[in-house]
Every structure is written in structure tokens, then in C-alpha cells.
Amino acid sequence: MDSYEDLGRYQIIRSLGAGAFGQVFLANDKTLERRVAIKILNGDMDQDGENRFIREVEICLKLRHPNVITIYDGSVTRGKAYIAMEYLASKDLGQILSAGPMSIEKAVSIVDKLADALIYLHSENIIHRDVKPQNVMLKDDDEPVLMDFNLGLDLNRTALTNTGLIVGTPQYMAPEIAAGMPYSGATEVYALGVLFHNLLAGSVASFQGDGPPLSELNSEVTQQYEEFINWVTNPSPASRCRSMKEFKKGLAKLQTKKGDRTELVEAVGPGNK
């Protein structure tokens, strides 16, 4: 911690937490006089790693979306890479899950906005690769904000950080990733589908098939919602919802309370995008 007391223009105030890839601190931007969150990545970087990191920062600085965390700055100091970003004094969805099952209305609103955020990222050729509750902050007005882009993959370039590694969180990782297939929009669909399930279940433990049906955990969940979640989390990419835009259309179809899974697939199939 002592070595981070003065990180360029940022004065470290206190630790906010730590993960597999780095530590996050609350800091004061002495130049602009504002509070920021600073993520300092673990380990020292060689020149190639520093170059990849700087390219990733350049990409993230351009991102502007109400449901995507705002990145202010990023650099490498004394071999330590860091990212300065918007500070949100909020809870993440992982903390909120402990409160129990979420209402359909609230869960759908959150997931729909996260789908918007991911559609935006995909339009910028970025795959997040670690969509999970702990990487989503929920503001006081229930507006979700997607965070943690140090795992991001620019589809126009090579993998930037952690090149060559399978990264992400196993429970939210589509089965084809473990089999060596590339990350894609369909793998993000899977992760968001698992997140949706867990919001409705109020738990992260029951998705793997060893728990009760979702409708037994949340009385608001109908057969149509269970079938939708089965569709977007299908282990086979060929049978799964193919894109985040299809995910949103299927979710909207559920809100009209029309039809079953077959009609959902037809509603977002080829020619209806």
C-alpha cells in the first residue's frame, strides 16, 4: 500500500477491494479535485504488456454509455499499470443477491439495460468476457453500471491483457470457452442469462442444475421466463440465443406475455433482426 500513496496525480485514500487481477482504491484526483476509483493491476509489466495495456486504455477512454463505467485515465508507473475511473458509492449486484429473489420487474429492468450496454460494447468491437453480478454496480435509482474492462477483448485486434489465457468467472462462462472456442456475443448472452437467473433466484448456487426449479424460488417466475432462460443459457451455441439484440427482443416478447419459447425464437430469428 505504501508504494501506492502517490500514484502520479492520484492520492490513494483507502482500499475498496481486491480481485484476481488487481486491487481497487478510492483516490483523490489532485488535478481535477474529484474522487475516483483506481484499479492497480497485479504484477509488473514488460514492454509488450505495457503496450497492450495502453492500447486497451485508448479503447476504454472512448466509451460513453449510461450503463458502462466511465474511464478517465490509465497509465503505467514504476511498472504498475493502473486505470482511473468513475467512483460509484454503490453496492454491486453480488452484494444485493444476498437479499433474496428479486422481483421480475426489477430484474428485467436491470438485465435489459445491461443488454443495452453490451450491445453498445459489441458495436465498438469489444467483448467484456467477465459479465457477472460483482461487475455490475447498482445506483440508488436502480440504474446498473457495467464495470471491469481490464479483461476486455477488442475484436479488431489481439487479446489485450492476459493474452492467451482463458479468463472470466467459471459459473458465468459459456461451455464452449472451456473447450477452446473464441469469445463472442453468444458467450456474453450466456453470461447475462446466468446473471438473470441468479437475480430471480436470489442465489448463485442453484444454476448448475442441482437446485429446485426457478419458479419454486421465485413465485413471480412463469414457465415462459424459465424457457427464456433455458434458451439464452443453452450449453450448445447452435441452440442458444445468438446475439444480445436477440436477447433484448426475446425479453421484450416476454413482457407482452405472448407465446412460448418457439414463438420467442421465431420472433428474433433471421430476417427479424
Active site positions, annotated: 130
Residue 261 is inside which H or E element, if any?
helix 261-267
Cell numbers for 214 = 426457478
CB 16: neighbour CB atoms within 10 A? 15
Which of the 8 DSSP states describes residue 159? B
Convert 196-208 to b/e letters by CB count within 10 Å (16 or more is b). bbbbbbbbbebbe
How many helices (DSSP H) and strands (DSSP E) are in the chain?
A: 9, 11
Q: Please name the amino acid found at residue 241.
A: C
Orientation angle between helical segments 185-201 and 223-232, nearest 10 degrees: 150
Q: What is the CA radius of gyration of the chain?
A: 19
Cβ contacts of 163 within 8 Å, gap of 6 or more = 52
Q: How far apart are CA 56 and CA 175, in angstroms?
A: 26
Cβ–Cβ < 8 Å for 251, 229: no
Measured between alpha carbons, how far apart are the two ends of the chain, in Å? 50
Bridge partners, residue 32, by sequence: none
Residue among 206, 204, 232, 200 nearest 219 (CA): 200
